[in-house]
Structure 1
Amino acid sequence: MKQDVLSLIEQNYPSLSPSARTIANYLQQHPLAIVSQTSAEIAEHTNTSKATVSRFFRQIGFESQQDAKQAQLALRESGVPVLTQGSTIDQTAEELNNLSRTFEGLRPEVLNDISKQLAEASRVTLIGFRNAYPIALHFRQQLQQVRASIRLLPQPGQTLGEDLHDIIDGEVIVLLGFRRRTRAFKKIVETLKGRNTILITDPTGQVYNQQVNNVLVCHLGNDSPFDSYAAPMSLVSMLSNRVYRHIGKQAQRRTQAISGLYEELDELEP
């Protein structure tokens, strides 16, 4: 398992010299310095020397401060919440960048084909774990407005074996999985081999592109500690709208009927 610099500092703290502990204290109080400052800058802020800083990073398991910086950035790339930018980050600009990079990488003909498949499939199965689950849940809610036979897996407290066994002819499986996927994810992909599977993922999920029919890549951002799911949610919205248009009048009649049931059951605010 990958470990971040702060965890290694904590583990090695008892064996550090007084000057090394000064550096450790500084980095624990200013974790951004690990990726934003040079060894010379860290030495200046801790009243130590560049050689002492270099020795400190070797003591906690890195070849150099640059090595530690790359380790932190690699952790963020894998989805671990790690500070890599200051507090002045423009969240709006980052979200727009994620959306722009996502949709620029999606080919219109692929989106049209997938939308047609989702509209005409005998059944659509949506599978998502951890942070992918609420996106899959939202996707189900949207698709269920316009067509029947939509199911969401896994069901709370249930296993997947029986449901994966019951995949029917003409079924489309949409598998959602973003970085820090569960250990079971790879086995699920292998189990679905030969099925019509669409994978919605981040760039790291492209390792599965030879095992599924289509891969739709969403960008989650790396500048903030936590991933953004604006792009996957936007993609789900786009696909749902395309499915609606493809189905046409039948989808409109279904949404009207469902709206009628909302009123009859008094489920929504007026």
Structure 2
Amino acid sequence: MGIIDETIRDKYAELTPQERKLADFMLDRPNDLAMFNSAELARLCGVSKATVSRMFKRLGFSSFKEGQMESRRQRQLGVPVVDSDSSIRTYAPHFEREIRNLQMLAQSLSEEQVQPVIEAMASARSVKVIGFRNSYPVALHIRQQLLQIRPSVDLAPLPGQTLAEELEGSGGDDLVIFIAFRRRPKIFEEVLKLVLQKNIPVLLIGDASLRKVAAKATWWLECPLESVSGFDAYSSAMSLATLLCNSLLHHIAVSGQARSLSISDSYRNLNELDFS
């Protein structure tokens, strides 16, 4: 049997609504499957024990117990036997998890899936990049890269500012890139609702916790954030940002390169950067 979370993602579209509740729990809390029995898991997810049994059979296991044993085996493989220094104990697994996240991102994307996004980024009259809290650094990075190769790219909300005025006047000719990783502020759903009401095309980038609303967006790209400890890992998100921006540069090579070279000349004229 392959990695459980990868199997869930592969079969997610085939799951019933009740089974998706269970799937979302397992994807959001990948280490917890090994800790609960089927009754506890059913109660935590608000589903029946029969739903738990059916889903694990759909994933290719003979029973919940077999799936749980596989989860425990995978969990044990990620905990090397070293000394009691916690920094050493998590060092190698940290990079293994980062690599795994990147592999999962690569497996979930295709050129055919990304190409319409790139075309929208190229043709949009303006691009608004929105990100709150831990999504803000990724949004800022995307905005900074895009601004070097195309005009009219704005970051929202700016520090200390609000969103309403930023979205006013935007419409179907524009594009919103919404970065929304877990532990989002409660205003997220209202902002998404407003953007959709304005008929603005939306590229939604987030983690598995957004899967329930992903269908509302024009395009949805999922980034795995799993880590070996308390803080989420954002290497896949930054890698996706680089992929999108590099792909756009190749798509608009002539105008993009011309803008980038012009900005570089301005850097030198203003003596802003050290080119030595």
1:127 aligned counterpart, secondary structure? strand
Cα offset for 1:180?
0.6
2:211 aligned counterpart, secondary structure? helix
Match of 2:259 in 1: 254
CA distance in 1, matches of 2:269, 2:126: 27
Match of 1:223 in 2: 228
Match of 1:131 in 2: 134
Match of 1:208 in 2: 213
Match of 2:160 in 1: 157
Match of 2:200 in 1: 195
CA distance in 1, matches of 2:191, 2:223: 20
Structure with higher Rg: it is: 1
Q: Match for 2:157: what amino acid?
A: P
Matched, 1:235 2:240: yes
Cα offset for 1:210?
2.4
Matched, 1:186 2:172: no
2:215 aligned counterpart, secondary structure? coil
Match of 1:5 in 2: none
Which runs of 5 or more structure 2 residues have no equivalent in the other structure?
Answer: 1-31, 45-75, 80-85
Match of 2:94 in 1: 91
Q: Match for 1:174: what amino acid?
A: I
Cα offset for 1:116?
1.2
TM-score, normalised to structure 2's length?
0.66
Match of 1:19 in 2: none
Q: Match for 2:109: what amino acid?
A: L
Cα offset for 1:170?
0.8
Would you say the 8 A contact 1:190–1:211 is kept in 2?
no
Match of 2:66 in 1: none
CA distance in 2, matches of 1:265, 1:138: 22
CA distance in 2, matches of 1:136, 1:101: 21
Per-residue CA distance 1:113-159 (angstroms, 9 max, x = gap): 10111011111110000011111111011001100010010011111
1:143 aligned counterpart, secondary structure? helix
Matched, 1:173 2:193: no
CA distance in 2, matches of 1:145, 1:250: 11
Per-residue CA distance 1:196-236 (angstroms, 9 max, x = gap): 00100001111112211111000011422100111010000
Q: What is the aligned residue count?
A: 199
TM-score, normalised to structure 1's length?
0.68
Would you say the 8 A contact 1:126–1:136 is kept in 2?
yes
Matched, 1:111 2:118: no
Higher RCO (CA 8 Å, separation ≥ 6 residues): 1
Would you say the 8 A contact 2:134–2:181 is kept in 1?
yes
Consecutive aligned runs of 4 or more in structure 1 exceeding 3 Å deviation? 84-87
Would you say the 8 A contact 1:199–1:214 is kept in 2?
yes
Would you say the 8 A contact 1:122–1:169 is kept in 2?
no
Would you say the 8 A contact 1:132–1:178 is kept in 2?
yes
Per-residue CA distance 1:34-63 (angstroms, 9 max, x = gap): x7x99xxxxxxxxxxxxxxxxxxxxxxxx9
